[in-house]
Structure 1
Amino acid sequence: MNKKFANRDPLRYLKARGSKWHYVRRVPGHFSHIDDRGTIRISLKTSSLDVAQIRRDALERADDMYWQGLALDDPARAAHGQYTAAKARAIALGFEYKAAAEIAEHASVEEIIRRITAAVQNPRDEVAALGGLDEPKLTVRKAMTFYIEELSADEIQGRSASQLKKWKQLKNDAADTFCEVISDKPLLDITRADATKYQKWWLDRIAGKDGGKPISGNTANRNMGNMRKLFREYMKHLQLELKNPFDGLSFKDPKRKRKVVPPFETDHIRKRLLKGTPFKTMNKEARLIFLAMVETGCRPSEIANLKPENIHLKAKIPYISVTFTDDRALKTENSVRDIPLVGVSLAAMKLAPKGFPRYADKEAALSAALMKYFRENHLFPTDRHRIYSIRHSYEKRMLEAGYGDEFRRRLLGHDIDRPEYGDGGSLAWRRDMMAKIALAYDASVLD
């Protein structure tokens, strides 16, 4: 159950009169100047509490959306609120909401009579019963804003401020790009021809035909996927059944060689990164985060966002816990894991027992700081290497030591292609396996 509603009164706005339940609700004071109903009283026409609660929920949502629509300065958003309210109210009345033209053309005589009767009994239900509103025409940009603000609660749950900012940016970028290529037309008016034109534009960018640097199929797929999901979720919200014009449109990466981030060679790590004072002028937190990655294979963000309670230095087997928190999502469920600390990574974490506040939820700043320092100090062996190369190096060291695929996947937080049994081995066993490949280091690299 949604936490927002978990503690709400199950009998809110319900009053029993005789054997029937009624919906009784006062118009909030701050809406009284635009809604003169005072106290709303509607018979729910049922003696079943379960049915009454379902119809109450629909009416409650209808009124909330109606007031929201009336209060909005944006006519398109206001129309959307009123339309959604009419659909919810129709459900409460026992009807499926249909536009007036559809009722006239397809409804049976008996259904038309029932709808007219409902409208006559309560004139305020005329729109809901007789289909007085057409589907709202939110444009692509406004629909995306509505999706972000109203329809994405489950999708954004647990994201941190920086994760949410990036998520919103990707959604808005997809909408902006579509508007530049096609137009900021009403979302529900998008045709298959529009979608295939949009696909062709991305295909040209993947091939570099626009004169710019070729992009990856992954980038194009992300943008197409965001538009596909926007259309799908908006339809679902309006309870429409339309063909999604973006369905089936995706991209493959071209045959050109993809950019692969190579691992650091073990000799490079020993001689350039764990010897002497290679990080002498780097800020302490960035230095310790990188060194904590060396013998854990963790992602930079996983180390940077460790909370004090996830750092277990006093345990018999010192370890860190990468886990979900209320304010931050992980890449995948498989990312949740306990990682023993050995070698230079243990030494680094002992110098940061409370974590890394400078870079908590700021992995972009961390990445920029590390990349700048490595480049300026010639710590990358080639221009293809990145900070992630240290994670790839750890996987390569495990592979060359003969460690099995599942052990490597569990330690690195990758997906495992079978049902999980057990915990992947005790901390002591994992610590001993990791200690076998731990690299010698100079204490000076920590300073």
Structure 2
Amino acid sequence: MSATHKPDQYLMERGGRWYYQRFIPARFQHVDSRKRIRTALRTKSVDIARLRRDALAEADDAYWLALSIEAAENGGVSDATLEAEEHRYEAAQARVMAYGFKYKPAEDLAKEARADKRVERLLERIEELERQTGASGRPPLADTEALLGGVEKPEKPLADVTSAFELYVSEIAFDEQKKKSPKQRRNWEKTKRTSINYFIDVIDDVPLNEITREMALAYRSWWIERMIPGDGDTKPASPNTANRHIGNMRSLYDAYFTHIGSEERLNPFRKMFFKDDQETKVPPFLDDWVRDKILVPGMFDDLNDDLRLMIYVLIETGARISEICNLMPEQIRLDSNTPHIEIRAIDRELKTVTSKREIPLVGVALEAMRHAPNGFPHYRDRGELVSANLMKAFRHRDLFPTTDHVIYSFRHAFEDRMLEAGIDFGMRCYLMGHKNPRPDYGSKGSLEFRQELLMKIAHPYPMELVKPASAIVVSA
């Protein structure tokens, strides 16, 4: 806004009405041939007059700045010219508001829903222009542009995809990362960076505001080609994979423009989603299989202590691998009247808010945790390694009934066992760490009550199954 040194600078009163009057500054007289500006502010209130004076002064300052560089030759749009055009757009808005109208681009003025209203509003603006017409017989250019919407909102190139993503990781998505462990943050960034790199490879590292719907559709077509089975051995991409990577681009676009204050911008990746009809449900282990094949003395003696003990804990808690391998000593409550583990966030993020829970230790899980009172430090924040090693160990021993079974099948079996034992839905949700659609009332019963429920489903196991660590042959 133009600085005014006196409260009534550029103001003039005539017959109780206020006017904006200003002489053209000497430094701009080479681009504006007028000697002075006089504009009726259409008010008797000095306070309103001052507000409108400020708006017009700002508009004129910006307009003169634009005029002073418009004649300059540019190989493109220079930063100076772009800055001037931005000021001109803002000035047009300020000027037209001072006249009592709301600024609208010309195409919006022509899109009024009702024809009679469209004509009426255009006439109002034209009449105002006629009142501003001076001796030259034509109104000032700035007024014409402002009232008839002749100034397009300039758009300068913004960050390219790579730069926008770096800003997203370092600043915009802070809330998404603040509770993650270092390993979780790396994995989170790796997945999203893969999505960004796919787009750059297929389309280009273009400024985000230059991504068009056509580019987004071309990227979608590329994923369609990858989902079509080919003649070779390459496995086609799944709809879920395509959705994840397109969704990460959609999220980046939304987050970036929200961050810079342009959240109303239409996302070129909007409503792009592939239906996935593939059956991906993980089958559970059956009770007989667990008892006859897995809870067998000597079956895992060549595994190291941590992996062997974690198998037994997974069976009787239904917990996720990441929840077990990241247990801290203070979360393992063997000294409690009801021994249990506390699943909660310590220096890392849980999968969901509802994952926080207390699970009583029963059966072979209790015996296993007695041999690991400090948890599993070697595998802390290394859930993927635990999963890979256990998958390898089970395949080597033919412990998967089908090719669809995985270590996570223990968790699915735990859910089924609770269901068959008549444990109610709310308690099952709690012990699994799932969201319960019902209102969250009560404390889910005492630990003793939960222990009694889980004792109903605990597998019998041979006493010699969980041997002292000194008796186990540890693999290298």
TM-score where L is the length of structure 1: 0.70
The amino acid of 2:273's aligned partner reads S
| Aligned pair partner of 1:310 in 319, 324, 331 | 331
| Residues matched between the structures, number | 333
Deviation of 1:341 after TM superposition, in Å, equals 0.5
d(CA) in 2 for partners of 1:111 and 1:181? 49
Report the counterpart of residue 450 of structure 2 in structure 1.
Answer: 430
Kept in 2: contact 1:322–1:335 (CA 8 A): yes
Task: List per-residue Cα deviations over 1:179-232 (Å, max 9, x = no partner).
Answer: 112111111110111112222222333343696423332222221221111111
Deviation of 1:110 after TM superposition, in Å, equals 7.5
1:203 corresponds to 2:230: no
Kept in 2: contact 1:313–1:353 (CA 8 A): yes
Identical residues among aligned pairs (%): 43
Kept in 2: contact 1:290–1:300 (CA 8 A): no
The amino acid of 2:362's aligned partner reads V
Report the counterpart of residue 149 of structure 1 in structure 2.
Answer: 170
Quick one: structure 1 residues 185 and 210, their matched pair in 2 at CA, closer, same or farther if it must change by over 3 Å?
farther
Report the counterpart of residue 228 of structure 1 in structure 2.
Answer: 250
Report the counterpart of residue 417 of structure 1 in structure 2.
Answer: 437
Deviation of 1:436 after TM superposition, in Å, equals 1.0
Q: Could you say what the CA RMSD is over the residues aligned between the two structures, in angstroms?
A: 2.5
Quick one: structure 1 residues 384 and 349, their matched pair in 2 at CA, closer, same or farther if it must change by over 3 Å?
same
1:440 corresponds to 2:460: yes
Kept in 2: contact 1:141–1:172 (CA 8 A): no
d(CA) in 2 for partners of 1:364 and 1:405? 30
Report the counterpart of residue 258 of structure 1 in structure 2.
Answer: 279
- The secondary structure found in structure 2 opposite 1:294 is helix
d(CA) in 1 for partners of 2:98 and 2:342? 61
| Aligned pair partner of 1:213 in 220, 229, 235 | 235
d(CA) in 1 for partners of 2:260 and 2:157? 9
d(CA) in 1 for partners of 2:284 and 2:217? 39
Equivalent residues in 2 for 1:38-53 (5 A)? none
d(CA) in 1 for partners of 2:300 and 2:323? 21
Task: List per-residue Cα deviations over 1:365-406 (Å, max 9, x = no partner).
Answer: 111111111111222222221111111111111122222222
Equivalent residues in 2 for 1:23-38 (5 A)? none
Report the counterpart of residue 292 of structure 1 in structure 2.
Answer: 313
d(CA) in 2 for partners of 1:348 and 1:98? 72
Deviation of 1:340 after TM superposition, in Å, equals 0.5
d(CA) in 1 for partners of 2:453 and 2:313? 17
Report the counterpart of residue 346 of structure 1 in structure 2.
Answer: 366
Report the counterpart of residue 267 of structure 2 in structure 1.
Answer: 244
d(CA) in 2 for partners of 1:419 and 1:434? 24
Report the counterpart of residue 103 of structure 1 in structure 2.
Answer: 90
The amino acid of 1:266's aligned partner reads D
Report the counterpart of residue 115 of structure 2 in structure 1.
Answer: none
Report the counterpart of residue 140 of structure 1 in structure 2.
Answer: 161
d(CA) in 2 for partners of 1:134 and 1:245? 17
d(CA) in 2 for partners of 1:98 and 1:371? 62
d(CA) in 1 for partners of 2:335 and 2:238? 46
Deviation of 1:268 after TM superposition, in Å, equals 0.9
- The secondary structure found in structure 1 opposite 2:282 is coil
Deviation of 1:101 after TM superposition, in Å, equals 4.8
Deviation of 1:297 after TM superposition, in Å, equals 0.6
Task: List per-residue Cα deviations over 1:147-178 (Å, max 9, x = no partner).
Answer: 11121111101101111011001111111011
Kept in 2: contact 1:275–1:444 (CA 8 A): no
| Structure 1 runs (4+) greater than 3 angstroms displaced | 104-107, 109-112, 133-136, 206-212
d(CA) in 1 for partners of 2:251 and 2:461? 49
Deviation of 1:235 after TM superposition, in Å, equals 0.8
1:397 corresponds to 2:417: yes
Report the counterpart of residue 18 of structure 2 in structure 1.
Answer: none
The amino acid of 2:187's aligned partner reads K
The amino acid of 1:285's aligned partner reads D
Report the counterpart of residue 76 of structure 1 in structure 2.
Answer: none
Quick one: structure 1 residues 262 and 100, their matched pair in 2 at CA, closer, same or farther if it must change by over 3 Å?
same
d(CA) in 2 for partners of 1:435 and 1:200? 54
d(CA) in 2 for partners of 1:154 and 1:246? 23
Alignment gaps of 5+ in structure 2: 1-78, 100-153, 468-476
Report the counterpart of residue 4 of structure 2 in structure 1.
Answer: none
Task: List per-residue Cα deviations over 1:324-359 (Å, max 9, x = no partner).
Answer: 22x200111110100001000000111111111011
TM-score where L is the length of structure 2: 0.66
d(CA) in 2 for partners of 1:445 and 1:224? 48
Report the counterpart of residue 127 of structure 1 in structure 2.
Answer: none
| Aligned pair partner of 2:292 in 253, 256, 271 | 271
1:355 corresponds to 2:363: no
Quick one: structure 1 residues 207 and 407, their matched pair in 2 at CA, closer, same or farther if it must change by over 3 Å?
farther
Of residues 199-208 and 353-362 in structure 1, the stretch that sits farther from structure 2 once superposed is 199-208
Alignment gaps of 5+ in structure 1: 1-78, 87-96, 113-132
d(CA) in 2 for partners of 1:397 and 1:250? 36
d(CA) in 2 for partners of 1:109 and 1:381? 76
- The secondary structure found in structure 1 opposite 2:385 is helix
The amino acid of 1:426's aligned partner reads S
Deviation of 1:111 after TM superposition, in Å, equals 7.3
